Amino acid sequence: MSWLGIYLRGVLMGAADIVPGVSGGTMAFITGIYDRLLGAIRAFDLEVLGMVVRGRIKDAWEHVDGTFLLTLLAGIATSILSLARLISWLLEHHPIPLWAFFFGLILASALVLLRQVGHWNPARVASLLAGAGAAAAVALSPALGLDNAGLPAVFASGFLAICAMILPGISGSFILVLLGMYAVVLTALKSLDLGFILVFAAGAACGLMCFSRLLHWLLHHYHAATLALLTGFLFGSLAIVWPWKEALGWVVGSHGEPRPVQQVPILPGQYQQLTGEDPQLWLCLLLAVVGGVAVWLIDTRWNRD
């Protein structure tokens, strides 16, 4: 795989991470680098620490697939720095067409990945349904309200948010919203609350090390069933990116603005009746098709790069 191909995959991951509810892990999954990314993350262990201590920097770099990670991170950073304002503007002024694009992208991704499962049996079907059910349950859940639960809740929030970020279909920021910790984390970051940040970072580091190892092991020992499970997560996450939604609950966002915490999908006609706004149905259908075509291009070109 060329460095340019890896860099472009990073750009796609960064663009997805900017959108609340869309995971960069989704892009890693559909562009064929998911397993390699998990392997590189799990390579940060005691062995690589020993290499660094003994001055074997080159061996440590190769052990963690450093060139791959650095190139991928460069793509992610480029995307975030260059697209953050554009996507934030689209989310504020044209959210429905943007969600429609991501809906088409994720739906097409899930359909493409169904082919990779291979022979279907009851266990793989059950894995697919379990993944879809779990992601849909998360997408439709109300906030838990852990904002006053103390440092153990902060650690657990970091742990769960990073696990969600690794999984395709569910974003870490969305999990923080569901836990009631989104505004709390943002406030701590803005005020540089080092104690809070260190506990949250420790939870995220533990989650990253533990969960990446678990997923890597599952993909190597139960590849088809795990692939079916992850594909199910993509199908279930469609409830998050469905363009027309009704908000049932709200939290305070990063700038003090109300932010929906629990939303349920509704039909375009119901959305128009509820809000009085144009559902932009034909534009949404067009952008969903564009998203599907984009996945086809990724699958036929970059996924073979």
pLDDT in tens, 10-67: 888 887 776 666 677 777 877 778 888 888 888 887 788 888 888 888 888 988 888 9
Q: How many domains does the chain have?
A: 1
CA distances for 250 relative to 189, 208, 257, 279, angstroms: 21, 29, 10, 22
Burial of 221 (0-12, 13-18, 19+ CB in 10 A): exposed
How far is 214 from 42, CA to CA, in rounded Å? 9
pLDDT tens-digit readout, 217-259 = 888 888 888 889 888 888 888 887 889 988 776 665 555 666 6
pLDDT at 303: 54
Give the count of alpha carbons within 13 A of 6, CB side only: 15
Of 114-123, 172-181, 200-209, which range is least confident?
Answer: 172-181
Tokens of 132: 């879809």
Looking at per-residue confidence, does 245 or 183 come out higher?
A: 245
Mean pLDDT throughout 118-125? 87
Confidence of residue 144 (pLDDT cuts 50, 70, 90): low
pLDDT, averaged across the chain: 81
**Which domain does 182 fall in, by range?**
3-304
pLDDT grade, residue 147 (50/70/90)?
low
